Amino acid sequence: MTMLIRAVAALSLSLGSLGLAGPVAAQTAWDMPVPYPDGNFHTRNAAQFAADIDKATGGSLKIKIHSAGSLFKHPEIKRAVRQGTAPIGEILQSLAANESPVYASDSLPFLATGYDAAKKLYDVQKPYLQKQLESEGLMLLYSVPWPPQGLYAKRELNSINDLKGLKFRTYNPTIGRIASLAGAIPTQIEVPDLPTAFATGRVDVMITSASTGVDTKAQDYLTHYIDTQAWLPRNIVFVNKAAFDKLKPDEQKAVLAAAKAAEERGWKLSQEEMTIKTKALKDAKIVVMPPSADLKAGLTKIGETIAAEWAAKAGPEGQKMLEDFKK
């Protein structure tokens, strides 16, 4: 029996190498690690991106999405793609803020708070982002924002003072700075670990989108969502340039076309997501409220401090970017 299986395996192998196994013979299979769960709109968008490429290449380039940090955890994804362990991946751009200020520029509090402003900021930032990624052997494929960021808590927060001493969940270094300036205690936690972190008291508050609140069932561990609309952080999808260069020209074309479509689709999805998921929070009995004038003023002040610190770090290029954005 074993002999027979071996013989059949050997036969199909040789048929494959003769090119008799059909179009799958010359197939490239790419693993694509992404940080967020399957149902999340970024992950759904990536799945459509992969399906478009599959279709356009007649199945010669297959991309398999590994969601929720299942193949590489979020903080490892960028390095994995740089090293070519994974040819393609997605991260929250600002997770890499400590590597270069350009990665932080989408997440400066109250700089760009709506979709039009976020798009303008992205357009202004894009050449710098592309250059930075190129210097790391990477190529930007597309970038899509999250819905605006609001404050989740277990009670009403009416001023910055109310944040003092609370354990503040962060997803990038800038939020760490916000927490510190507010007298709170920052703790970096990835989305898949959020429910446990709240349930076990490792964190008290977080700033994130309505989307992530719904994805992680915030109603199980939080009661209030203060809709601060502080910024719209973006995800970036990028490819290892050497891996991209190895693709056939028609495959490269298919990847670039699918990326363009994913970016356009993603910005629309994100906007729809904002409305749908803010309503879902209300339906789940979370109190959704605007920030008080006091809280808003306090956060704005912190935002100004952070913008000044960022500009000092980002030097003339950063300064130019901010000026172009404000034009």
Site residues (vs ligand PCA, CB under 6 A): 92, 146, 171, 191, 208-209, 211-212, 233
* Residue 3 C-beta: closest distance to ligand PCA, Å: 53
Residue (74 or 241) nearer to ligand PCA, CB: 74
Residue nearest ligand PCA by beta-carbon distance: 209
Q: Distance (Å, rounded) from C-alpha 318 to C-alpha 17?
A: 53
Residue (67 or 208) nearer to ligand PCA, CB: 208
Question: Which stretch of DSSP H or E encloses residue 2?
Answer: helix 2-17
Q: 3-class SS at 47?
A: helix
Look up residue 56 and give its amino acid: A
Q: 3-class SS at 205?
A: strand
Residue (179 or 254) nearer to ligand PCA, CB: 179
Q: Are 163 and 206 in contact (CB under 8 A)?
A: no
Residue (238 or 244) nearer to ligand PCA, CB: 238
* Residue 146 C-beta: closest distance to ligand PCA, Å: 4
* Residue 105 C-beta: closest distance to ligand PCA, Å: 15
* Residue 102 C-beta: closest distance to ligand PCA, Å: 18
One-character DSSP codes across 219-267: GGT--EEE-------EEEEEEEHHHHHTS-HHHHHHHHHHHHHHHHHHH
Residues whose CB falls within 8 Å of the CB of residue 91, separated by 6 or more in sequence, listed in order = 35, 74, 77, 78, 235, 236
Q: Distance (Å, rounded) from C-alpha 83 to C-alpha 65?
A: 18
* Residue 211 C-beta: closest distance to ligand PCA, Å: 6
Residue (213 or 298) nearer to ligand PCA, CB: 213
